[in-house]
Structure 1
Amino acid sequence: MTNVKPIDKSAIRDAATVIVLRDRNSNPRILMGQRGAKAAFMPNKFVFPGGAVDVEDAHIHLVARLSEPCATRLTEDSATDISHALSVAAIRELWEETGMVLGRPGIWSTPVPADWQSFAATGHQPDASDMQFVFRALTPPGRPRRFDARFFLVDAENLSSDLDDFSAASDELSHLQWVSLHQARAFDMPFITEVVLAEIEARLENNAAPDSVPFFKNNDEKSLFLRLRGDPMPS
């Protein structure tokens, strides 16, 4: 009998989270949903759609990639460049958890993996060009799951979906809804989600993207709040 190595659930997994912003200039709202009561990670909390990077995400073709500044900042303080896989994971998780399509009309020229068949059936190919890398957070030690999560911001107007139709969503998140940015803190959400919301509000107030991305880095020694500026990876 072949010995199967058990999954190390305490290992840090790369993850991607998507903040969809609607009505930026009038009544800004964000798309959120509630995690299940039995979820091992952040049960009952209201969160943005997102999840862990899959191995296959590195091999999915994007009709358009992230902007160069975003891709470069994703490599900072990282052992390898997984900017492509992260952006693919963000689009996949957004589709799976909300039924929202971030892509361009087009037919896939290669065989469609199982996880992408329902997305491809909408007649779209994934497009990461409108996503902005806005935040990074490493889950503190001692939690039942640990993620190195990168948060991406995208305007709802760039989605190829009916913004009020969640019929294609999985059941991973319940109570999917557009939440007023100014009222979001009334919801039961993780601390880090509140921190990210403050960053988004600051961006809207300044009406411009900052020259760096916050990184809330929790490791075994201490917690650090860093700024990722997109410096080249050391050779």
Structure 2
Amino acid sequence: MTRMPEGQPAAGKPQVPIRDAATVILVRDRLSQPRVLMGKRGSRAVFMPSKFVFPGGAVDPADARVPMAGRVGPVCARRLAEAAPPERVHALQAAAVREVWEESGLLLGAPGDWQGTVPPDWADFSARAHLPCAGNFRYVFRAITPPGAPRRFDARFFLVDASAVVGDPDDFSRASDELSELQWIDLEQACSLDLPLITEVVLGEVADIVTLEGPPECVPCFRHDDEQLEILRRRAMR
């Protein structure tokens, strides 16, 4: 899903559309020695080349129409809806599940039958008689790519326990080639990797909330433009 950014572009520079995106922070052993799933983007990638990132990517039009076996809880749903209409809230969750599958080969779903035509990107789920499931997702962060970047995203970050993975969480054999060096890395050691700034910020936030059972107290919004860099913490609607 794409929308044009607000405001006027800089002189001589075309506007870069902002695309909705979803990123997933998969964590295991979160109560003892938390590890998160990360992979390395290709050196020729237009966006964040050679950086270690979490699985994630842009929302596709078909994501708004796929059936789901479970969605985020009411608090997270309300927070997502503060800046997105209902169909986008659904699409963000579906896109998060799809991107994890495409980039890591790990399936986040539940048994279920698909009805009607299955979108091509979801054929693997249908073949395995599973529906995407975001019932264990917690919405924890939002970040908007700054102006001037070759790609711009309005990304929502979801924290998910690895227990939600169907099958072996160490089996990356079905992953695409979008991410290399897929690995579960100790949360405290992750910052030693070559990371984008936003990923460093998110790792710091995750370290503070990883042991929580429910949604975090608030969802920080990371904004970076030509005039300022700030993290805005917005208290959720009660």
TM-score over 0.5 for the alignment?
A: yes
Worse-matched range after superposition: 212-221 or 45-54: 212-221
Q: 2:79 aligns with which of 50, 73, 78?
A: 73
What residue number does 1:53 align with?
A: 59
What residue number does 1:110 align with?
A: 116
Aligned counterparts of 2:236 and 2:117: Cα–Cα separation in 1: 34
Q: 1:162 aligns with which of 165, 168, 173?
A: 168
Of all paired residues, the percent bearing the same amino acid is 55
Ranges in structure 2 where 5+ consecutive residues have no aligned partner: 1-13
Distance 1:9 1:56, change over 3 A: farther
Contact 1:95 1:119 in 2 (8 A): no
Contact 1:75 1:230 in 2 (8 A): no
Partner SS, residue 199 of structure 1? helix
Instruction: Quote the RMSD (CA, aligned, Å).
Output: 1.9
Q: Deviations over 1:104-132 (max 9, x none)?
A: 12221332111100122222111111000
Contact 2:28 2:35 in 1 (8 A): yes
Q: Deviations over 1:187-232 (max 9, x none)?
A: 0010110110011100136666432100012346544422243439
Q: 2:219 aligns with which of 179, 202, 213?
A: 213
TM-superposed deviation, 1:182: 1.0
Partner amino acid for 1:198?
G
How many equivalent residue pairs? 224
Distance 1:165 1:138, change over 3 A: same
Alignment of 1:118-129 (within 5 A): 118-129=124-135
Partner SS, residue 71 of structure 1? helix
Q: Deviations over 1:168-192 (max 9, x none)?
A: 1100001111111111011001011
What residue number does 2:138 align with?
A: 132
Partner amino acid for 1:229?
R
What residue number does 1:90 align with?
A: 96
What residue number does 1:197 align with?
A: 203
Partner amino acid for 1:201?
A
TM-score, normalised via structure 2 length: 0.88
What residue number does 1:40 align with?
A: 46
Partner amino acid for 1:40?
V
The answer on 1:31 being equivalent to 2:37 is: yes
Partner amino acid for 1:185?
C
Aligned counterparts of 2:209 and 2:218: Cα–Cα separation in 1: 12
Aligned counterparts of 1:154 and 1:16: Cα–Cα separation in 2: 13
Ranges in structure 1 where 5+ consecutive residues have no aligned partner: 1-7
What residue number does 1:4 align with?
A: none
Aligned counterparts of 2:134 and 2:15: Cα–Cα separation in 1: 29
TM-score, normalised via structure 1 length: 0.89
